[in-house]
A and B are shown apart, each in its own frame.
Chain A
Amino acid sequence: MRFTQYTRSALLIMFSFLSLVSYAGETTPAIPAPSPASGDSMTYVLIAFAFMLLLAIVVLGQVLIRLTIHAYQNKNKIAKSLLLLLMMSVSGILFAQDGPSAPAAISSAAHNSSSSFSLNFIVAVCVILIEIFVIVIMLIRIWALINTLDPKPETKSNFHFEFPRWFDRFNESVAIEHEKDIMLDHDYDGIKELDNQLPPWWKYGFILTIFWAFGYMIYYHVMEAAPLSAGEYTNEMAQAKIAKDAYMLTAKNNVDENTIVYDKSYLADGQKIFTDNCVACHGAKGEGGVGPNLTDNNWLHGGKINDIFKTVKYGWPANGMKSWQADFSSMQIAQVVCYVKSMKGSNPLSPKAPQGDVYNDSDSSAAASVVVAKDSLNK
């Protein structure tokens, strides 16, 4: 039947298209530039992938509809129209599912925050998985329909899948009709062996990889033409430094332990950083725990705002305070330092006993100037 042959080749093309698409989907995000937007670009790739799959579903749907009509044209018309209706509704549901979710993902991706990143991602992945599932179901259905069109596949009927001739030629294999010529006299429990040539693409591919291997070893270890692990690292760090320095030249928010001044507008951001990172050791209200109380007058490493900045930035690793300069920008450190400064005298519940020397603010920049008697902080 000519029609089913067409369908079969369409299916084959579909399969190769799908594998291509999934390949592209896997590799594309592997090379994003380490820009701040690359997390979202992942999502865009996903959405693109979802649309491609949608396209595949539409094409498959059409094949399915035509096949259904074809398969049932000789039977009663009720079944035909019912099936058609079913088909339409399935694709309708699909569009309904895809339509709103994909644009939603795009619009939220524009917000560029870390929480929306994961949400977009989940939505996109779910859509893709549903689409893959639908495609698989459709393929099964199409396959089944083809089988009904070929009533007796077991006997030598019109169904006879073979690789096309070019495939044999490509592999230099001897055609099945002539395989007696290359049948060896081996017989192991009924298993016979042919003596086909090595497929040329395989043979030359193998030789090519061997050459490549020698080339690789010579390039890296004899000519030493490109850096190895350590050299790559040095280059990467140097480039990062250049990029950072260039940015810092233009950046306004360039603050360090010498230039920091107390700024009330920093408190909200500072509080967020504190809650996310500091409460494990210093307590939710700065009352102390694993680390010292931050609300009293006593400071282990100096209570001046510049000293606190230094403590946060470089840490006191011997005492358990880590250095945070790799985790936060100098602006963020300034924010959290101002927030810490603002906590003084807040009198939280169950404070940790004071540690270190008493420090009273003499610089006017600190707003938290409420001086609390040292005793009142003791239990």
Chain B
Amino acid sequence: MTVEKFKYDNRWTRNFAFASFLWGFVGMLVGLIVALQLVFPQLNITQWGSFGRLRPLHTNAVIFAFVGNGIFMGVYYSLQRLLKTRMWSDKLSAIHFWGWQLIIVAAAITLPLGLSAGKEYAELEWPIDIAITLIWVVFGVNMFATILTRRERHLYVAIWFYIATWITVAMLHIVNSMELPISAFKSYSLYAGVQDALVQWWYGHNAVAFFLTTPYLGLMYYFLPKAANRPVYSYRLSIIHFWALIFLYIWAGPHHLLYTALPDWAQSLGTVFSIMLIAPSWGGMINGLLTLCGAWDKVRVDPVLKFMVVAVTAYGMATFEGPMLSIKAVNAVSHYTDWTIAHVHIGALGWNGFLTFGILYWMIPRIYKTNLYSTKLANTHFWLGTLGILFYAVPLYWAALTQWSMLKQFTPEGILKYPNFLETIAAIKPMYMLRVVGGLLYLTGTTVGIYNLIKTAGQGVFQPDEDAEAPALEKNFTPHSSEGWHRVIERRPVQMLVFSLIVVAIGGVIEFVPTFLIESNVPSITSVKPYSPLELHGRDIYIREGCYNCHSQMIRPFRSETERYGEYSKAGEFVYDHPFQFGSKRTGPDIQREGGKYPDSWHYNHMLEPTSMSPGSIMPAYPHIIDDDLNITLTGTKIKAMQMLGVPYPKGYDTLALADLDKQSVTIQQSLAKDGIKVSKKKEIIALIAYLQRLGKDIKTAPKLTETK
């Protein structure tokens, strides 16, 4: 057996590490800004800095830039060492790194510009979607080629997670990003309404699962035993919880759509699969925490382990809370309120944030051949971060419960006690302020951490190529006669990839196919008609401004919602919505039945200055919608695109659309003029009003004047 000498590549690991914490800082800073905007709406400065456009920037930056680079950093470091080989191609590593950073920059430019596909966590427009796909393939090729040229016969559990992550994210991204481009930066989702929602939350839920969870579990399986210098607690637990986790996770997407117009059977699947997920999720936590048995005295003094223990505990808490939130009665409270926001931040700040920094504190000194610059600063970071999480989450839990209990209250006469939604916002504003304090604490901790890491790098000497040696794999391998069944697949990475794909595809297929094919799942309503050209333009403005970040268009079948917003939403009402705009959080009221509720002039004044019509409103003002002319050059293209997607406009309507658009504009212009508002019919506001006045009207019955005698 000859021992081969080779070098590990630390260059791209280092680059990903620095990208991770620098983008992390940016992402959290934007988070802090949007949190402040909820308390001080005047901080919505210019259209490019308004909440609806910055909030997607925050979520995308934290998920794909901070955690994304964190994944690649950890994978590039651990993969080489677990397989005893260098990354297959330095060139692919470079393309992967720079490609990913370019995508982030493109996102950071396009999202504030309002170039958005209008689906949460998948806002990036089609050219960037294609770039993501290509770079993801580059990553996959580099990773897989490394696996195939390994000097270690069996794949360690961390690598199972990496493989499952790669294949599932590829599947999720491609299926959810199916869209029809109509211009360089505008596209319409291929799916509509309830079906689009199902696909989107299958994606959204599993972005959490396979971008924020499984790769980080893989990282935990490498870095935690390394840092603690302890054997992994249970190999068989690894096997069971890995396969159970990836199989069950995919199904749980519909728990984001409980009590919506999604068919009941799909909602129930979301609930039961979420409950079944508790144990597989906790399998990871148990394997992490019990690995520390015999190393608890180290946890007390080593900041790396401290970070990891809190990360794993936060993971356990969030993955227990998640299934609880999937129980319909609990979901009724948490959905649309700040509970969900608190929940995801336990995961993001605790699990992803703390694990990333635990890894960084362990890894950076090693690739710089030095010690951590300051353990004391690391401890400071730890406490600031922990307090930050607490101060972030607790106020939001209270905010959610307060708002929910207010929204639910009726007087004995059977009318809402707080009919004005803004009353509930006023009540929870102080909680929003406390949340800002929590975020600030956490961000301060992050800054301390970055300083510490940069100082560490400064005092060491970077090792771009690290010497290593290992025997080559022998051609002839005879397995132990006593080996377990799972050992076989651990030697066969391609089979593992294929099995993973099969396992994760099942849930999606079983939920999608009936919803798309069986008509009774989306009963059609004859009175529901396609949007007029002007309304379609208005809808695109709605998407551009990210209104869905604060307003839902989905009234649940509760008395407190139908009394407040009108008849509850039916699946058939959304059949022409490419993309759907259900929303997932109500910082403002639901507006699915906004049409006809207020006069046109109300909307005009409200967009110009929301507080003029709704005193105390925290909505940003939209003066640019009133100033800017509507771009109607794409009108025909939009109609044609919709026809391709199956919206039944008459044949050749794309040529007539402009005339109809003009006619409707004039009507709205005249109705505004009647209330003393003079405005050109060419302005964007006309289109937006047309859309808002159309919302939810198709199934509205005539006012019940017949009741009066």
Contact = CB atoms under 8 A, between A and B. Distances in A.
Interface of A: 26, 29-30, 32, 34-36, 38-39, 42, 46, 114, 117-118, 121-122, 125, 129, 132-133, 136, 140, 147, 153-154, 159-163, 171, 173, 176, 179, 183-184, 186, 188-199, 202, 205-206, 209-210, 212-214, 216-217, 220-221, 228-230, 232-233, 236-237, 240-241, 243-244, 247-248, 251, 257-258, 276-277, 280-281, 289-291, 310, 314-320, 322-323, 325-331, 352
B234 A196 contact: yes
Given A114-B423, A236-B559, A36 B409 contact: yes
B208 interface: no
B228 to A, nearest CB: 10
Nearest to A161: B296
Given A32-B405, A129-B434, A173 B272 contact: no
Interface in B576-598: 596-598
Given A129-B434, A188-B156, A220-B268, A326 B563 contact: yes
A362 B165 CA distance: 79
Chain B at the A interface: mostly helix, strand, loop or mixed?
helix
A261 to B, nearest CB: 17
A129 B394 contact: yes
Question: Chain B: interface residue count, which band?
Answer: 35 or more
B568 interface: yes
A202 B397 CA distance: 28
Leading 9 A-B pairs by shortest Cβ distance: A320-B599, A206-B279, A213-B272, A233-B557, A244-B414, A327-B419, A196-B234, A192-B231, A188-B156
A35 B409 CA distance: 7
Contacts of B430: 118, 121-122, 125
Given A125-B430, A327-B415, A34 B410 contact: yes
Given A32-B405, A193-B235, A233 B268 contact: no
A123 to B, nearest CB: 10
Given A206-B279, A221-B265, A280-B613, A233 B559 contact: yes
12 contacts: A171-B286, A189-B226, A197-B236, A209-B276, A213-B272, A229-B259, A258-B709, A289-B675, A290-B602, A310-B708, A318-B596, A329-B413
Nearest to A258: B709
Interface of B: 78, 81-82, 84, 152, 154, 156, 222, 225-226, 231-238, 240, 244, 259, 264-265, 267-269, 271-273, 275-276, 278-280, 282-283, 286, 290, 293-294, 296-297, 300-301, 330, 333, 383, 387, 390-391, 394-395, 397-398, 401-402, 405-406, 408-420, 423, 426-427, 430-431, 434, 556-559, 562-564, 568, 596-602, 605, 612-614, 675-676, 703-705, 707-709
Nearest to A30: B333
Nearest to A246: B412
Given A184-B235, A280-B612, A290 B427 contact: no
Contact of A42 (B402, B413, B613): B402
B268 A217 contact: yes
Contacts, number: 253
B705 A233 contact: no
Given A195-B236, A317-B597, 9 more contacts: A132-B390, A189-B82, A190-B226, A209-B278, A214-B272, A233-B559, A240-B559, A291-B599, A326-B563
Contacts of B601: 290, 320
Given A221-B265, A290-B601, A191 B226 contact: yes
Nearest to B675: A290
A36 B271 contact: no
A194 B330 contact: no
Contact of A216 (B152, B268, B300, B394): B268
Contact of A30 (B237, B271, B401, B600): B401
B409 A39 contact: yes
Contacts of B301: 153-154
Nearest to A248: B413
Contacts of A35: 409
B409 A229 contact: no
Contacts of A319: 599
Contacts of B556: 229
Contact of A26 (B265, B397, B676): B397
Contacts of B676: 289, 352
B262 to A, nearest CB: 9
